[in-house]
Structure 1
Amino acid sequence: MNTSWYALCCLALLQAFIPGSSPLKSIPYYFQKNPFTCRQVSVFEIAQDLGAVISSNSAIFLPSHPPWSEVTKRWNTLIAPDIEIVVQPAEESDIPKVVQYCNDNGIEFLVVNRGHGLTAALNKFRGIQIDMKQLTAITIDSDGKSALFQGGVSVDEVVTALWDQGYVTTTGSSGSVGLTGLALGGGHGRYEGLYGLISDNVIHLNVVLADGSTVPVNETSYEDLFWAMKGAGHNFGIVTSLRLKIYPKQIATWHYHNYLWTQDKLEAVFEEMNRVQDHGNAPPLLGASFGHIRINRSVNEKEAILWWTSGYAGPASEVEHILRPFNAIEAISDEMGDVPYPEIHGPQDTATSSFPSGPYVMSTVMLQTYNITAQRQLYDLFNRNAALYPELGANALLMIEGYATAGVQAIDPISTAYPHRDEFHLAFFLAAAPEGSDLLEPARTWAKESWDIWNAGQPTRKPATYVNYGTGNEYESLESIYGYEPWRLERLRALKAKYDPYNRFRYYVPIIPY
């Protein structure tokens, strides 16, 4: 077949779907989902092609390979992109080569660190997964003020490596999650009361753009993109490595105090939480207070209980007087201790092994304060549904996260794309419901009802969504994620047109939908 004639026919066919169009360049960028191609190649041929251009220590996996289930594993199995090939680059310089190959051949690409993305947009993906698990180098600068992290590092790896050298930095609170993805969406964690979000500590990003070019992004180079990457970065490029501020470890141990309460203590607990959190004025060292409501069969098979943990950057002697009101609330059990910072994940139940993967239905909100009436309504809804659907109730929870936010609020809100510096708590509903089961619709209804109750509890505020917890539910508006000020989305869309005109990065809470 004459290749030129075939290409011309393909172009004519494309234009036939766009009335009145002539040159391809006249098509608005938001219709150009990917560079147009007619080439059809097998996954085996693609693997051969890529193997010839990327570094020798890189790995390429096909569905027939034994490790396939492991390299395509995701935390939420209900969100399942259609992966045809997995490439694990051994060098940062491999990534632009893979992107360029995909562009040349009309193949979609999806970058993965640890596979914790929750957004339903991932279900629309089909193509090559670029898995950054081999890119885990950490280099501390000689001045001890910053460190360079490759794009595949996890929170556990960062915390441990820095601590061993006498430093800490801002990370997420869960040890199993990747650092880079969190940073692109802000990144809440235990040290934000002192130092702000992860994104607030980013100094420099090495970014692969949608066209395959690699650019340095910082305050003086691509400064407009630097603004966007700190809060909406998933939409703009691949971060192969980033430089973060680091800080000398000045605190030897973290104190934790965990409580287990029956439901009749719920109001008293949340009243004390509101008092301590004080509308965002919690002590900066009271880094992380988490809780969940769920069925604990060892305590009560039918009635949910409240578990809570407070983590403080310092010893018990500095914080137990703050926690005294909680100690006065009669608990089923409580435990406390002081541990080095890398060990705090365990007792606070955020370690790598704490959260098994599953087919999860979710909804999520951000809050300024805990509405006591709403928390009771959420609890009662939980118990009713757990009784109606015992299998669903056994694998459901209401999660509430509170952080010391002084460091977050200290940053000028217009200086980054992250829009929610006046929101102090994260909360979400989660239930395991396999695709196709008769539990899926009840779980979705339960998720929406929980979302409604949380938001009804703050009637003077608009719904807010933390982008890193974005689920893609139809009731999550783009404004709730990227900010209600009109200029925010206008600026992000203009930058999207500039840096990703074909909308190649559209599978993680996309500014321009699929």
Structure 2
Amino acid sequence: MYQHKFKVAALPAWAAIATCLVPCVSGFCARADTRQANYTELAEQLSSSALIYLPGSDTFEDAVARWSNLSVPVANVVVSPGSEEDVVTTVKFANKYQVPFLATNGFHGSITTLGKMSSGIEIYLNQLNSVEISEDGQTAKIGGGIRSKNLTDALWAASKQTVTGTCECVSYLGPGLGGGHGWLQGHHGLVSDQFLSFNVVLADGSLVTVDESSDLFWGLKGAGHNFGIVTSVTSKIYDLTKPNYAVNTIFFSGDKVKEVYQLANELWITNGTMPEDLNNWSYWFYDPTIDADKPVIAMYIIQEGVDVVDSVHTQPFLDLGPIMSQPQSGTYLDLGKWTGISLADGPCQKTGNANPRFPIYLKQYNPEAQAQVYELFRQATTNDSTPFSGALFMFEGYSQQGLKAPGDEASAFAYRSENLLVAPLLTYAPTGQAVEQAAYQLGNQIRDILYQGSGESSLSTYVNYAYGDETPKAWYGSESWRQDRLSALKKKYDPTAKFSFYAPIA
């Protein structure tokens, strides 16, 4: 393993020439030769703490490796900035030589539009990971490269917390720029609802501070991937008052799929009665040690501030006759482990698999549609020859009070009226076009059944889980005023569409 400090002599001759995508207003562009991009010039301009990772090194390979190996972006040099000004310098250098660039951190965005970057500079923000709590303890300035677990732990040590993504290894700002669901959203809303100001490097390389006085503030909170590289953010934080949590994980046979989700509707969803201190997730997965014939339904009932989940929430499910139940108690720090998304779990490992998701928002479960997609999922995961035996179906039901409080027009995030986030995760080894096409067809077939069963007139998807075949209307809301507002912001702040590799507005 080796990594280079920025020293001119360390850069090989291949780095002197780059082939790139020329920016264009439509978002994606044809391949073209460019002027010489002399990376030794960039090396001389960056701070002493900045790092360059070159192909052939372990550090480079780790920096470009992604959680999902489907339609991945391609970089031929990685810059790890040591400061916000290093990001400015790198973007200006890229612009000078018309070289594409992409900011990364948690590597969990699996959207296929990322594959449109066929060469260029990866700006790996991992060193920008500071947390500075204000003197009054109400806010924190947080580096743009921090990950959710690191932020949670840093705030926890100060008896503070804030809304972050649920998976421990994802970045803090990646989900936040797309809205960002989290365990605490019943109290405080989305990750993006916590943001008070952003330090952002814009498409022209300028570093600006954006707060509520700027028209861009609205767009960064839900469609932020389209407008710049956020190098730091000032966020609301909160006193840690209820550290203890309990969960009861109740496993059902797939034969009970209709009953389980009808009950969830009746208890929490249909009338919007999910308590603020409760979160309800469920997974479907095939585990022959629990059921050899079909995928199981694992229902997670998670409650804050208790050591045992209140029986008013669990007993109705126990009365359905589950396979087993597993009550556990601990703290907020155990939630990732309980739900299989801690640093040690599979979703935080780079295995070389493809991991496409096909998300859809729902207002409530349609038990008949649930049964139809369960049967598709069963066939896809239990067949002896299937490539999808490791697939997971995720149903995320968060408490909604904090999410809905700001109102639908508060930010570019469009789906505050939805109650459920649903997504099949079709993990498979990327062995060729046939399996890729099979995953695409299965995922969209499942999503279409749920969509038709929802009775909605337009598809609503979570941009942070997006597959890539969805439209900007699905990612950012179908209302014409939303699309017009986002298009105007894009034209103003990124007219040549440099930030168009992740779910582009246009």
TM-score scaled by structure 1?
Answer: 0.89
Partner of 1:465: helix, strand, or coil? coil
Equivalent position of 1:3 in the other structure: none
Q: Note closer, same or farther for the CA distance 1:31–1:145 as it changes in structure 2 (3 Å cut).
A: closer
Q: How far apart, CA to CA, are the structure 2 residues paired with 1:121 and 1:86?
A: 20
Percent pairwise identity:
32
Q: CA deviation at 1:29?
A: 4.5
CA contact (8 A) 2:380 2:389 kept: no
Q: Does 1:183 align with 2:176?
A: yes
CA contact (8 A) 2:163 2:190 kept: yes
Equivalent position of 1:483 in the other structure: 477
CA contact (8 A) 1:257 1:311 kept: yes
Equivalent position of 2:392 in the other structure: 397
2:241 to 227, 235, 250: 250
Q: CA deviation at 1:266?
A: 1.6
Equivalent position of 2:500 in the other structure: 506
Q: How far apart, CA to CA, are the structure 2 residues paired with 1:224 and 1:206?
A: 14
Q: CA deviation at 1:395?
A: 1.8
Q: Does 1:163 align with 2:180?
A: no
Equivalent position of 1:147 in the other structure: 140
Equivalent position of 2:268 in the other structure: 277
Q: CA deviation at 1:92?
A: 1.4
1:471 to 467, 474, 477: 467
CA contact (8 A) 1:155 1:174 kept: yes
- Please list, as runs of the form range in 1=range in 2, the aligned pairs for 1:42-441 lying within 5 A after superposition: 45-46=38-39, 48-125=40-117, 126-220=119-213, 223-279=214-270, 280-286=272-278, 288-317=279-308, 319-354=310-345, 355=347, 356-357=349-350, 358-388=353-383, 390-433=385-428, 434-436=430-432, 438-441=434-437
Q: How far apart, CA to CA, are the structure 1 residues paired with 2:341 and 2:382?
A: 28
Partner of 1:342: helix, strand, or coil? helix
CA contact (8 A) 2:246 2:309 kept: no
> What is the identity, as a one-letter code, of the residue corresponding to 1:403?
Y
Q: CA deviation at 1:393?
A: 3.3
Q: Does 1:493 align with 2:487?
A: yes
CA contact (8 A) 2:28 2:116 kept: no
Q: Note closer, same or farther for the CA distance 1:316–1:276 as it changes in structure 2 (3 Å cut).
A: farther
After TM superposition, the runs of 4+ consecutive aligned structure 1 residues lying more than 4 A away are 27-34
> What is the identity, as a one-letter code, of the residue corresponding to 2:81?
P
CA contact (8 A) 1:366 1:466 kept: yes
RMSD across aligned positions (CA): 1.9
Q: Note closer, same or farther for the CA distance 1:424–1:461 as it changes in structure 2 (3 Å cut).
A: farther
Q: For residues 424-449 of structure 1, give each alpha carbon's deviation from its aligned partner in whole angstroms, at most 9, with x where no partner exists.
A: 11111122331415422222211111
Q: For residues 170-220 of structure 1, give each alpha carbon's deviation from its aligned partner in whole angstroms, at most 9, with x where no partner exists.
A: 111111110011111110010000100011111010000000001110012
CA contact (8 A) 1:32 1:502 kept: no
Q: How far apart, CA to CA, are the structure 2 residues paired with 1:327 and 1:391?
A: 32
Q: How far apart, CA to CA, are the structure 2 residues paired with 1:202 and 1:257?
A: 32
Deviation larger for 100-109 or 412-421 = 412-421
Q: How far apart, CA to CA, are the structure 2 residues paired with 1:363 and 1:412?
A: 26
Q: Note closer, same or farther for the CA distance 1:277–1:55 as it changes in structure 2 (3 Å cut).
A: same
Q: CA deviation at 1:319?
A: 2.5
Q: CA deviation at 1:37?
A: 8.3
Equivalent position of 1:19 in the other structure: none
Q: For residues 385-423 of structure 1, give each alpha carbon's deviation from its aligned partner in whole angstroms, at most 9, with x where no partner exists.
A: 335563323122221111001111111211211111111
Q: How far apart, CA to CA, are the structure 2 residues paired with 1:108 and 1:263?
A: 47
Q: How far apart, CA to CA, are the structure 2 residues paired with 1:98 and 1:185?
A: 24
CA contact (8 A) 1:256 1:348 kept: no
Q: Note closer, same or farther for the CA distance 1:336–1:178 as it changes in structure 2 (3 Å cut).
A: same
Q: How far apart, CA to CA, are the structure 1 residues paired with 2:206 and 2:42?
A: 17
Q: How far apart, CA to CA, are the structure 1 residues paired with 2:341 and 2:273?
A: 24
Report how many aligned residue pairs link the two structures: 476
Q: How far apart, CA to CA, are the structure 1 residues paired with 2:197 and 2:356?
A: 35
Q: How far apart, CA to CA, are the structure 1 residues paired with 2:288 and 2:309?
A: 35
User: Which protein shows a greater Rg?
Assistant: 1
Equivalent position of 2:452 in the other structure: 456
Q: Note closer, same or farther for the CA distance 1:66–1:345 as it changes in structure 2 (3 Å cut).
A: closer
Q: CA deviation at 1:127?
A: 0.6
Q: For residues 208-233 of structure 1, give each alpha carbon's deviation from its aligned partner in whole angstroms, at most 9, with x where no partner exists.
A: 0000001110012xx10001101111
> What is the identity, as a one-letter code, of the residue corresponding to 1:57?
S
Q: CA deviation at 1:238?
A: 0.6
Partner of 1:139: helix, strand, or coil? strand
Q: How far apart, CA to CA, are the structure 1 residues paired with 2:71 and 2:362?
A: 25
CA contact (8 A) 2:179 2:221 kept: yes
